[in-house]
Amino acid sequence: MQVGTAKRAKDTKLSARSFSFPPGTPAAFLRAVQTIVIGHKNPDMDSICSAIGCAELKRLTGWQDVIAARCGPTNPRIDFALHRFGIEPPVLLSDLSARVSDVMQPNVVSVHVDTPIYDAIQLIDRRRLRGLPVVDDRLRCVGLLNAYKIMHHLCPPREEAGAARTVTASLADIALTVRGQIVGEQASTQEEEDLFLLVGAMRQDSFGPRLKLYRHQGRKVVVFVGDRPHIQQLAIELGAHAVVVTGGHAIDPEVIDAARAAGVTLISATSDTATTVLMSRGAVRAGTMLETDFLSFRRDTRLAEARRAAADSGAFVFPVVDDHGKLCGILSKSDFIKEIPRQLILVDHNELDQAVRGADQVPIIEIYDHHRLGGFTSRVPVHFWNNPVGSTSTIVALCFQHAGIAVPWKIAGILLSGLISDTLNLTSPTTTATDRKIRDELAKAAEVDPDAYAQELFSVGSPLLTLTAEEAITADSKPYTENGFRFVVAQVEELTFAHFHEKRDALLAALELRQKREGLLFAALLVTDITTQSSLLLVRGDERFLSTIASPVAHPPHIWQLDGVVSRKKQLLPYLIECLGRMVP
């Protein structure tokens, strides 16, 4: 095995890159898939350290976008080791279930509530959109453009055709929509008004009475007229609200002066009269054409939940909003079939019952473990390194060796910590000759005396002293299923049993509560004294099972003395499974 030759840099930290859950731009779906290296629930030292080491090895061998992660809290000993070698804790990921943000389209095309619907329709056509969110001044999604309302407005039924003459819009919006411009200095044109559209295409003696009639009815008439100065002048004299001169024709100065004097807005448009009138119908603002009863999701909504809700909806698109209603993405039904841009490497376990929540929804591409095979199955072949050594950190160190890469100082120190912790500094019966060899090589690379460092490590933070009873039975706890029975076994390691007796009753009560709450056959805690190489086993559960434990009973009941037992994996678990086989049905 090669060791790092570079001196440690005391003023630097090897920090995990910040985890974007999930990637926030469309480019994320084109780049390398994010690889997450993660250990089991309730991670111990070996789980954390092997994840860090494996992730660094992947990066050194050219993998892109690899992070080390954990699915539970650290403890004082883990924190000590991380600080000792200048490494930040892996990012905490308690749930990898696919989320809306994994597949949503983050670069959202939207329009403001004041946008003319003509522009919104053009945007829908140009971008081939199936729906268009509408936002307010604070970028909050207030609705989706309603296609039915738009069609009803632009193409009303025959019996309502007269309503097509009226639009609720501002003169400024009409000018914007018809690609025209307001001529001269005018009064404010920004206010929305009910405007009546009239085409000045008739004879002068017919036009005058018609305009007077509409004015008498209290209508604000907008006259559309081409190159007919006499009609333009008459419209101004008879009190038209605005005159739109179409066809790009120049407007006579006399007409401009008259409009200014009468307070009539003049708009110059380049298109012909028919086109300009049609486009003016689109000056209605998007806020008036909304579907406000719409289905939206949050970024962190589970994708399975969103899929069920979307299946019952007739909509094609669904806004994604934050806690304040601000639009941050859009989700279409086709997005639900996208591949999730993540993959997993599992370390220190191979049973999904022990894996981070949602692991069954993410492709698992590699596994590095030293425990029993837990019935793991996969749809495709995976790289699976299962080695009966004392720690997964040992396996990761061997991976560096096989790759021909020197273990960096910081990584050597952290892998040494995992190895020492899981093998109780080579005193556990799980220890192999490989562990002994790797420990010495890692210690050399980390520039530490392994025995002195082990004493330093184990002297930090008695779990029974620093954790509550509930935390102690869950901090390093693993679930198992055997012969149809579910049970959990936790372990804490102490330098002495000095703090055990004051916590004994609370630990038993916490185990009983967990066993009943989770419907387990039993819940167990192995309290190990690494100095005397002995343990106390606390178990609460079904009496049929408890009666099969033949070890000496300590005081009070539900506690057994296990001299020489220090390994949950190699010593305790096989014995408990044997007891299960003796249990009376």
- Where are the chain's structural domains? 26-98+341-458, 147-288, 463-582
Give the per-residue pLDDT at 12: 32
Nearest to 485 by CA among 523, 526, 458, 450: 523
Q: Which two tokens stand for residue 560?
A: 């057994």
pTM for the predicted model, two decimal places = 0.66
The yes/no answer on whether domain 147-288 falls in CATH 3.40.630.40 is no
Euclidean distance between the first and final Cα of the chain, in Å? 52
Give the chain's residues under pLDDT 50.
Answer: 1-31
- SS3 of 62-109: the string is CCCCEEEEECCCCCHHHHHHHHHCCECCCEECCECCCEHHHHCECCCC
Give the per-residue pLDDT at 62: 93
Nearest to 276 by CA among 112, 118, 111, 115: 118
Nearest to 330 by CA among 149, 137, 147, 144: 144
Give the per-residue pLDDT at 33: 77
Buried-exposed string 549-571: b where 16+ CB fall within 10 A, e elsewhere: beeeeeeeebbbebeebbbbbbb
Instruction: Decide: 436 and 426 in contact? Cβ < 8 Å.
Output: yes
Give how far Cα 409 sits from Cα of 56, 164, 187, 526, Å: 12, 78, 75, 33
- Contacts of 557-560 with C-beta under 8 Å, sequence gap 24+, read 558/508, 559/504, 559/508, 560/536
Same fold, 26-98+341-458 and 147-288: no
Can you tell me the distance from the alpha carbon of 141 to that of 170, in angstroms, rounded to the nearest whole number?
A: 23
Element (H, E) at 474: none
CATH topology of domain 26-98+341-458: inorganic pyrophosphatase (n-terminal core) (3.90.1640)
Q: Does the bond joining 22 to the residue before it have cis omega, within 30 degrees of 0?
A: yes
Give the per-residue pLDDT at 185: 64
Model confidence over 454-513: pLDDT tens digits?
999 998 988 898 899 999 999 899 999 998 899 999 999 998 898 898 999 999 999 999
Q: Using N-to-C axis directions, what is the helix angle for 409-423 and 392-403, rounded to 10°?
A: 140
Give the per-residue pLDDT at 208: 93
Can you tell me the distance from the alpha carbon of 410 to that of 391, in angstroms, rounded to the nearest whole number?
A: 18
Can you tell me the distance from the alpha carbon of 288 to that of 112, in angstroms, rounded to the nearest whole number?
A: 11
According to DSSP, the residues that pair with 112 across neighbouring strands are 135
CATH placement of domain 463-582: 3.10.310.20
Backbone angles phi, psi at 3, to 5 degrees: -120, 155
Q: Which two tokens stand for residue 240?
A: 């038209």
According to DSSP, the residues that pair with 482 across neighbouring strands are 485
How many whole angstroms from its chain centre is CA 314? 26
